[in-house]
């Protein structure tokens, strides 16, 4: 069995090697660079809005400070999420999931990673499902998380949606667990993947997307192993590598 002809070129937090992560500028840049899927992270604000940011606090990626769950959307968006990467990005805000849906507008699939604050966010799955269905995006979304409880809730409430478990340590039972839980995909740290890993995934009917891969040599190795997708900070580089790889087939 070989790699699927449908390969996901996934921009990590957009194109965070070129633009401030998890901003509309980054997502647009990823699309411009050939990404077919965009990876992003979501948290829940104090007023229960789904905001797109990686960390549970604002300090690293914005001019603000404080926990996302302790702040309203208006407070979060009062800070700048772009200037930390350069003056040309000044004015970028932490977007809502709705703003991302409107920007992407079915031009790329979305890999939405559900994060946690002090604990798992109550109600975030219901709110996320409402947005996905409101925008007619159920066939263009993968829900991923390190937190199994979120994935189980998604499958209970929207069985048709694709979900994928994120993990960074080897687990011999991961394939059987995925089948048992009806998870369609695995998103492992890329160093866990070799041809043997992929063959086990194929036998279990699972798709595999590797994170986060930024070196050309490692992109090439994963393509030869047969991964279904690669998550990268540099979609432009991966686009060129995939084009060269396909030309050699």
The residues annotated with a catalytic role in the active site are 12, 54
Name residues whose C-beta falls within 8 Å of residue 173's C-beta, 6 or more positions apart in sequence. Answer: none
| Cross-strand pairs, 112 | 40, 143
Rounded-to-integer distance, Cα 243 and Cα 144, Å: 27
């Amino acid at each position: 069995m070989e790699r699927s002809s449908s390969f996901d070129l996934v921009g990590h937090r957009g194109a965070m090697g070129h633009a401030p992560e998890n901003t509309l500028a980054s997502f647009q840049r990823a699309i411009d660079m050939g990404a077919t899927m965009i990876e992003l992270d979501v948290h829940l604000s104090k007023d229960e809005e789904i905001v797109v940011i990686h960390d549970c606090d604002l300090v690293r990626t914005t001019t603000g400070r404080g926990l996302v769950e302790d702040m309203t959307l208006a407070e979060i968006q009062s800070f700048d999420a772009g200037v930390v990467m350069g003056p040309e990005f000044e004015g970028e805000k932490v977007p809502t999931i709705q703003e991302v849906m409107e920007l992407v507008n079915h031009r790329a699939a979305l890999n939405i990673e559900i994060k946690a604050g002090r604990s798992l966010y109550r109600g975030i799955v219901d709110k996320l499902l409402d947005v996905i269905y409101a925008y007619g995006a159920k066939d263009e979304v993968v829900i991923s998380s390190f937190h199994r409880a979120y994935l189980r809730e998604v499958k209970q409430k929207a069985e048709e949606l694709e979900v994928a478990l994120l993990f960074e340590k080897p687990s011999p039972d991961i394939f059987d667990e995925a089948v048992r839980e009806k998870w369609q995909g695995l998103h492992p740290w890329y160093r866990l993947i070799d041809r043997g890993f992929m063959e086990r995934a194929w036998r279990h009917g699972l798709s595999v997307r590797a994170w986060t891969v930024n070196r050309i040599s490692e992109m090439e190795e994963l393509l030869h192993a047969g991964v279904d997708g690669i998550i990268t900070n540099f979609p432009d580089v991966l686009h060129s590598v995939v084009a060269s790889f396909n030309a050699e087939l």
